[in-house]
Amino acid sequence: MRSYAELHCHSAFSLLDGASTPEVLVRRAVELGIRALALTDHDELGGAVRFSRVARAAGLEAIVGTELTIAPAENAPGSPSHLTLLARTAEGYANLSELVTRGRSGTAETQGARPESTSRVPITNSWAPNRGLPRVTWGELAELGAGLYALTGCPQGELARRVRAGDGKGARELLDFLGSAFRGYVAVEVWDHALPEERALADRLLELADRRELPAVASNDVHYALPSGRIVHDVLTCLRHQVTLDEAGTRLRPNGEWYLKPPSVVWRRWRHRPDVVENTHALAAECSFRLADLAPTMPGFQVPAGVTTQEYLERLVWRGALERYGGLGQVRNGDPIRVAPFVPDHLTPGLTQRVRRQIRHELEVIKRLDLAGYFLTVWDIVRFARRQGILLQGRGSAANSCVCYCLGITAVDPIKFELLFERFLSEERGGAPDIDLDIEHERREEVLQYVYRKYGRERAAMVCETITYRGRSAVRDAARVLGFSTDVADRLAAEVERCEAAEAAAVLENGGLAACGLDPRDRSVAALVHVVRGLDQLPRHRSIHVGGFILSEGPLSRVVSIEPAAMPERTVIQWDKDDLDFVGLIKIDLLGLGMLTCLAKAIRYIRETRGVAIDLAQLPAGDAEVYRMIQAADTVGVFQIESRAQMNSLPRLKPRNFYDLVVQVALIRPGPIQGEMVHPYVRRRRGEEPVTYLHPDLGSILHRTLGVPLFQEQGMKVAVALAGFTPGQADALRRAMGFKRSREAMALIEPALRAGMTARGIVPAVQDQIVKQLTAFANYGFPESHAASFALLVYASAYLKRYYAPEFYCALLNAQPMGFYTPGTLVHDARRHGVEVRPVDLAYSSWDCTLEPGIEEDSHREGAEWGSSRSMSRGSVAGTAAAPPPRSKLRSRTPTPPLESRNGRDAAEHRRAGSSALRIGLRYVRGLGSKAEEKLKTAWEAGGPFRSVEDVVRRSGLGLPALKTLAEVGAFRTLWGPGRRSALWEVLAKLAQRPLAPVDSPPPHSKLREMTRVELIAADYLTTGLCTHGHPMEHLRATLRAHGVLSAEELERARSGQRVKVAGVVICRQRPGTAKGVCFITLEDETGFSNFVVYADLFQRHRRTIVRSPVLLIEGIAQNEQDVINVQARRITAIESAAGADVIESHDFH
């Protein structure tokens, strides 16, 4: 069968234009027998790696290209044109990447060449609005044409325009220019989409090509793989132009011919000119560059004169080893040790032979892989952060490395925990490893900008994240374009949970359409379902990855295309993190972690309020009170172990030491759950079943996890011990376990795994169990090193919560958004732990939450000020609230009685004499944004704290809406009184006295009816999302109790098997993919939390109530298993009258 090469093809990475993913296009090309395919997305190389990877696996020749947008020539009117470019050589690819980068910079003028500058990479976000309008100049094409093959482009190309306009001279001049710019590698592109006017234009182009003795090639300007993709392409076109399908008109292509055609169709279309098809093969053969051939170099690191990079690294490592493992005092003058890798033992006193042996091994591997500069680069970033007082910790596979531990990059001792270095780095894999650095998220930008300054913007950029269509976004976009009303679109989206678009289409077909009153047989409704399914996995937009940073030795724009980010001072490459390994790019993850921000703030607050210096590295290990709190699942706000599933497992597992926390972090994950490892581990942990091993050789590998494989490192060791894998093969297994598309990768490795086990006499039944356990890691099995790094933060946050609760909760609230729970839930938990939480008050509140003297301390300070000044710098200093008015003017300061803790202990036992009270900051008042923050800070800095309502109105600069909200939230309670309605009246009166008053003077008011307690709670939730003096459920308690409804605290005393009724505010709904449709719900009331299991059939019957109702009454059967109470739901009802509950947000996960 005759074939051809398709040289002009758009994937979904031509955002909102191409309607098929690179994988689908490759699969279709292979099915059709097409030999070569060029990916030519619009000003884009983002799909190049995915395209090249899957093409190589399928045996398809993958040509990397792009369709560039070219600015009109100097002094030439008109709109931009298109030009198709293909990479012939490595130099051509580098020039192609540079051209895309320049086009995306948004600095090219419509006329003239780009001004010269020292850097080709933009440094501000001034070009961000132009990201969708990239263009390069003709002069840049001449500069960067080497190694590229130019096709003259689609009908929007400059040559087609000139021929269409009858400008023969201009067409000839353009071809002369292109021939010069691209060193003779130019072909005239023609097409046939069954359009008479296009065929006529193609004939004229062929005549021109023949006269100029240039090759002509046929292309189809592909935008979707199959004819059925046309409607999806039309919808994407409408989204790009922001019109409906009925309004689109000529913006849509006139027919459905822009699909990947079978070779027989192409040859038949061009039977009068078969040379244009034959030429596609010849041109494809010229394009020999393949993306896998890239060899980006690592960044250099400047070291002191007289030493190599490797030598400098070794000095730092050995010095760090002495600091970590002892004997540092014997190093003269504190200088780095001048030693070689095989340092004599007498120069490293205090180090065991095992430590020395491991360090030497790692340094040798680093030397052979030439990675010293990489490690020094990361060490330098860590050093900068620590010098700036920024809390930072390395984690992930880097914690497997003793070198990283000695450099201070990580905090986990890999020798103590028997961690596997090959999980981090191996010679067989080669390349640079990933090192993840967690940084307190409010100061992460300082670290990012240091990297930009240190290495230059031409050698540094962030990794992108491609955001694909999900169920709800696909439904909304499709419905909008197809002409459905906004109300119908919203109702359809509400029927769809957080799921993939394909699953959303199935939900609509299976009852979702009928629930919204739509007939599935209606043509437009059927089209909606088809489009939603067609949008599955298609990129919708691009954002910045949470932390990935790329560095290179040379200009990065010649390795990967770079574009502006929406955030100031950021640039981002067009590849995501999964693309980097394919080309060998080095990534350092600089990740913002909210818990580090919380810990940094809490440490500062503790120092300032109590005079205690906390060093996280020196916290008392094994504190019994901390572990008792963890075992009781009293872990709201504690890092990693505060979720519903974690809190359910903690009383069962009862962690007693640090390694138990390591296991705890890793156990409640999809991998162990799907691999059916959780229940066996729990039973063995509780002594309910013996510890056994599937094979005797597993004893030394799995003894610490009781014979149950939980960690990726264990999976590697199992493959080596039982299947005879080499370390390199075991690492490939590990990468398959962690890869996003891991199931496919695992399927390729499984035959070799089974063959190795068979050779060692392992029977098929045991093989099945081992393979099942290992395959389960395809769903994010945790590295042990990662779990150990996280466990450090688990213990630190639990310790601070147990012993410094006011400071911890204050820091937690000021570090939001983070964690599992809303601020309202955190406030209730703080009160349950005896923390006095005081409401927003303009006399005392800063922007952030602050700490004030507690009631015990305050009672001894009659008339004393709480602080002489207000600190409004970033991270407000705890305990520096403004001085209050004279004591006689203060309202009652009796604290709200603390709520009972969920474990029945009186919350007062948590209160310490002299402990601080927590004042809610103005940051929680909804409607007060950054402008209001700036105005308030300016007023405080200029005139000190506010002293009256008139003072607030006069100095704050706030408008009526903000002042009204402040009155509604009770922020004038000290300056005016507890009456919120009368305070609002007073605000209006003072506003009316201002020049150009925005309101008329209100009439004198008589005694206004003040708000009831229920109204106050509702107003607090409406205006701040939290309440310091009550809970939405408490006013219903008498009625609920009369109907036999238990509180969360009462539920804990229920018998197993007892039928119970419980009501509360929904704070969490979860439907994990591993739970076979089961939904887990957590309710909160004034006494604590209660957990419910809703099986799939009940969920489907009550899905709308469960998903939409903020307050639920659930009836079911109590199950008390291993010290944990859950309720198996039988009946679910919505409650409509809980004060303020309709504005409480829940955290829903799927």
Q: What is the CATH number of the domain that holds 1101?
A: 2.40.50.140
Span of 68-77, 341-350, 613-622, 652-661 with lowest mean pLDDT: 341-350
- % of the chain with per-residue pLDDT over 90: 63
Domain assignment of residue 746, yes or no: no
For residues 272 and 302, state if they share a domain. no
Average pLDDT over residues 570-582: 90
For residues 34 and 165, state if they share a domain. yes
**How much is the pLDDT for 422?**
86
Would you say the pTM of this structure is higher than 0.85?
Answer: no
Angle at 348 between CA 345 and CA 354, to 5 degrees: 70
Split into its structural domains, the chain has a count of 4
For residues 314 and 194, state if they share a domain. no
**How much is the pLDDT for 1141?**
53
Q: Which residue has the higher pLDDT, 1070 or 792?
A: 792
Distance CA 1037, CA 1118 (A): 20
Strands of 398-459, DSSP E = 435-440
pLDDT greater than 90 at residue 1050:
yes
Residue 664 binned pLDDT confidence (cut-offs 50, 70, 90): very high
For residues 907 and 1016, state if they share a domain. yes
**How much is the pLDDT for 1011?**
83
Residue 1137 binned pLDDT confidence (cut-offs 50, 70, 90): low
For 784, what's the count of Cα atoms within 13 Å in the CB-facing half-sphere? 29
Domain assignment of residue 658, yes or no: no
For residues 948 and 1038, state if they share a domain. no
The per-residue DSSP string of 100-152 comes to HHHHHT----SSSPPPP-S-SS--SSTTGGGTTS--B-HHHHHHT-TTEEEE-
Domain assignment of residue 375, yes or no: yes
Distance CA 249, CA 238 (A): 10
Domain edge (last residue) among 433, 455, 482: 433
For residues 216 and 88, state if they share a domain. yes
For residues 201 and 304, state if they share a domain. no
For residues 59 and 115, state if they share a domain. yes
pLDDT digits (tens, 9 = 90+) for 900-948: 333 333 444 444 445 799 999 999 999 898 899 999 999 999 989 999 9
**How much is the pLDDT for 247?**
94
Q: What single-letter DSSP state applies at residue 897?
A: P
- In this structure, are residues 491 and 518 in contact, taking their beta carbons and an 8 Å threshold? no
What range defines the domain where residue 390 resides?
A: 295-433
Average pLDDT over residues 335-363: 70
Average pLDDT over residues 7-13: 98
**Structural tokens at position 881:** 């609230």
Domain edge (last residue) among 433, 461, 478: 433
For residues 29 and 160, state if they share a domain. yes
**How much is the pLDDT for 326?**
79
Domain assignment of residue 245, yes or no: no
Average pLDDT over residues 264-286: 97
**How much is the pLDDT for 877?**
40
Nearest Cα to 478, choosing from 465, 456, 462, 496?
A: 496
* Helix runs in 369-422, H state only: 372-387, 402-406
Domain assignment of residue 357, yes or no: yes
pLDDT digits (tens, 9 = 90+) for 183-224: 999 999 999 999 999 999 999 999 999 999 999 999 999 999
Average pLDDT over residues 996-1018: 70
Span of 257-266, 574-583, 618-627 with lowest mean pLDDT: 574-583
Which residues make Cβ contacts (< 8 Å) with residue 724, sequence separation at least 6?
A: 756, 759, 760
Residue 344 binned pLDDT confidence (cut-offs 50, 70, 90): low
Beta bridge partners of 392: 439
Distance CA 847, CA 945 (A): 12
Which residues make Cβ contacts (< 8 Å) with residue 385, sequence separation at least 6?
A: 392, 437, 439, 446, 447
pLDDT greater than 50 at residue 33:
yes
Angle at 463 between CA 459 and CA 469, to 5 degrees: 155
Distance CA 765, CA 462 (A): 47
pLDDT digits (tens, 9 = 90+) for 91-140: 999 999 999 999 998 644 433 333 233 333 333 333 233 445 789 999 99
Domain edge (last residue) among 433, 448, 464: 433
Domain assignment of residue 980, yes or no: yes
The burial of 1033, by beta-carbon neighbours within 10 Å (0-12 exposed, 13-18 middle, 19 or more buried), is given as buried
- % of the chain with per-residue pLDDT over 70: 85
- Please list, residue by residue across 660-679, b when 16 or more beta carbons sit within 10 angstroms of its beta carbon and e when fewer do: bbbbbbbbbbbbbbbbebbe
For residues 1041 and 966, state if they share a domain. no
**How much is the pLDDT for 348?**
61
Mean pLDDT, rounded, of the chain: 86
pLDDT digits (tens, 9 = 90+) for 458-481: 899 999 999 999 999 999 999 999
Domain assignment of residue 1132, yes or no: yes
For residues 1046 and 946, state if they share a domain. no
Look-up of token digits 């000021």: 814
For residues 985 and 855, state if they share a domain. yes
Average pLDDT over residues 870-886: 36
Helix axes 624-631 and 784-803, enclosed angle (nearest 10)? 100
Domain assignment of residue 452, yes or no: no
Which residues make Cβ contacts (< 8 Å) with residue 826, sequence separation at least 6?
A: 636, 637, 809, 812, 813, 819, 1026
Distance CA 564, CA 574 (A): 10
